[in-house]
Amino acid sequence: MTSFIDSLAASEKTAVVIDIGHAYTKCGFAGNASPRHIVPTTVTIRGKTKHVFEENLDITSLRDRLTEFIRLVYYKYNIANCRERRVVIVESVITPTRIRHLLADILLKQFEASSLAFVPSHLGATYTLGRSTALVLDIGYKEAQIMPVAEGVPLAVQFDSLSYAGEAIHKQIQLLLEQHAFVIHQGHKQSFNEANLKLSEDTLEDIKVRCCFVSPFTRAQMYAKTKLGSDEPFKEASSVEYSLGADTIIHIPGIVREFACEILFEQDIDGKSVATLILDALIQSSLDLRRQFADNILVIGGTAMMPGFLHRLNSELLHLVNISTYVNKLAIKQFHFHLPPSQLNYTAWLGGSIIGALDTLESQSIIREKYLENGIVPDWFTGEQAA
């Protein structure tokens, strides 16, 4: 079913919207209600699959991988010509400058796109709500990033982030498996530690996606009490037999399944967790906006799609506002959340799609001719302005 808008947008000159995340990339055309593809951010070089944003990569390899990846996005997934089309890249505000410059160079010089616009993901998400004021929390793979947007202006100074997101959950799963799980390898039962298995990111992701969930607040409190030696019996969740290849089965106990995601809510040594991100952002914002922000919280990102996440976040917030650290600083005791008209992992892309379909796109983009002249990529961080 193609609506009128879609057929309007379905021309040769529609902008291409790409949201390059650390783990997954969402790509499609502007004006569409959903991206065409969500693909992992990897390229295949000489038969081996490699991550585009690998750690400690030198600039030439990064450039090669990024070029190859963008080529894939255009010609394999989107099937669109790059020349004479506008591009919208949805990015986080703290994308490293060298990656921004690389993207601008590759897209404008090598692929000859007609213009390039960088859209902050948090701002894009507010467009999907039809509101101009919201507190947006984006929990992806590498980090959880929060940024308030007031009256359409992203308050970049109040940006904050924590590295409690998908990758942290993977590490926690590995850790908990070492503590609690056992492995049946070719008929012999051993503890996970003895078997010395190092699970790949893909396996950990599969365990996270299929077996794990976010435990409700009350159960988490009960479990914390039992760990400290209380007598109340704790009913574990059911365990799972996860098969890893032909002759290895990992017996994953219910505790691992339920409490792997606790890492997002357990307050670390600085007292920070995903919930305190929100509360700290509220404290830092000006008094007149606090009520508006607390009434318009938007949580996006792939990790936020874990079952039971939003309910737990709400319970944590309600609990934390009544304890010592926050009870005197914050008068707000109620929080309201939004659900965007999309799945949470592509909400930022959707915002980019709306922005990419507007007439004002040109004024927000870097035009190719200007870039070839002066090579400036406007950045809020370094203060460079477009000429």
Partner 1 sequence: MATLLNVHRVKYQCSCGSFKSLCYLYFCRHCLKIKCKDCVILEVDCRFCPSCYEHLQSHEAITRKNRCQSCFSCPCCNHTLVTRATNTTAAASPSLNITPDSTTTASLDVDDTISSSTNVSGLQTPSKKVYYLACSVCRWSTRDIRLVDQPTLNSWKAQDNIHEGRFNELLQHYKQIATREKQERDRKRYSTVKLRTTMPTTANRSTSSSDKYGLLAPLTRRGIRTSGILKTPSLTESTNPANPSPKSAETIEQIEALDENLFLNDSFDFNKLTTITQRLNSVEIQPLTIDRLYPLAKNFTSKQSKRCKECDHNVLKPEPSPKLIKFKLHQMALFFIPEIRIWYHPTWSLNDNNSCILSIINQLDEQTTLKIYTLDEIREENTDKELIERINQFDENILTSKLIFPLEKERSVQLHAHVEPNETDTKIDDELRQNDSKDLVIYRKFAKIAIRCFIKIKSNNVKTVLSAFIIEHRVVGISPIVSTPTPTGPNPISQNVRHIVFIDFGSIDESALPLHSALT
Among 115, 121, 314, 365, binds partner 1 (CB under 8 A): 314
State yes or no: residue 292 binds partner 1 (CB under 8 A). no
State yes or no: residue 13 binds partner 1 (CB under 8 A). no
State yes or no: residue 307 binds partner 1 (CB under 8 A). yes
Is the distance from CB of 122 to CB of 284 less than 8 angstroms?
Answer: no
Which range touches partner 1 (CB under 8 A), out of 95-103, 123-131, 141-149, 285-293? 123-131
Q: Residues 354 to 383: which contact partner 1 by CB under 8 A?
A: 354, 357-360, 363
State yes or no: residue 196 binds partner 1 (CB under 8 A). no
Query: Could you tell me where the DSSP H helices lie in the chain?
Result: 4-9, 59-72, 97-104, 121-127, 166-180, 192-195, 201-211, 217-227, 254-259, 274-284, 287-295, 309-320, 324-327, 347-356, 361-364, 368-374
In Å, how far are 210, 214, 219, 348 from 237, measured between CA atoms?
Answer: 14, 12, 11, 34
Q: Using the minimum distance from each CB to partner 1, give the nearer residue, 94 or 184.
A: 184
Amino acid at 70: I
Which range touches partner 1 (CB under 8 A), out of 268-276, 308-316, 322-330, 371-379? 308-316
Q: Residues 316 to 345: which contact partner 1 by CB under 8 A?
A: 336-343, 345
Q: What is the DSSP letter of 249?
A: E
Give every CB contact of residue 172 below 8 A, 6+ residues apart in sequence: 260, 261, 262, 263
Q: CA–CA separation, 202 vs 170, rounded Å?
A: 10
User: Which one, of 271, 338, 281, lies nearest residue 310 by Cα?
Assistant: 338
Per residue, what are the HEC states of 53-64?
Answer: CCCCCCHHHHHH
Q: Using the minimum distance from each CB to partner 1, give the nearer residue, 40 or 161.
A: 40
State yes or no: residue 276 binds partner 1 (CB under 8 A). no
Q: Which residues pair with 190 in a beta bridge?
A: 183
Task: Give the interface size with partner 1 as a residue count (CB under 8 A).
Answer: 86
Q: CA–CA separation, 43 vs 23, rounded Å?
A: 12
Among 17, 197, 214, 260, binds partner 1 (CB under 8 A): 214
Among 139, 173, 211, 320, binds partner 1 (CB under 8 A): 211
Site string for partner 1, 74-93 (x = CB under 8 A): xxx-xxxxxx----------
In Å, how far are 38, 115, 149, 155 from 158, measured between CA atoms?
Answer: 30, 29, 10, 6
State yes or no: residue 311 binds partner 1 (CB under 8 A). yes
Q: Residues 21 to 60: which contact partner 1 by CB under 8 A?
A: 24, 29, 31-39, 46-47
Q: CA–CA separation, 111 vs 84, rounded Å?
A: 10
Among 51, 95, 216, 325, binds partner 1 (CB under 8 A): 216
Min dist CB 382 to partner 1, Å, is 27
Q: Residues 236 to 255: which contact partner 1 by CB under 8 A?
A: 237-238, 240, 242, 254
Which range touches partner 1 (CB under 8 A), out of 115-123, 190-198, 211-219, 279-287? 211-219
State yes or no: residue 7 binds partner 1 (CB under 8 A). yes
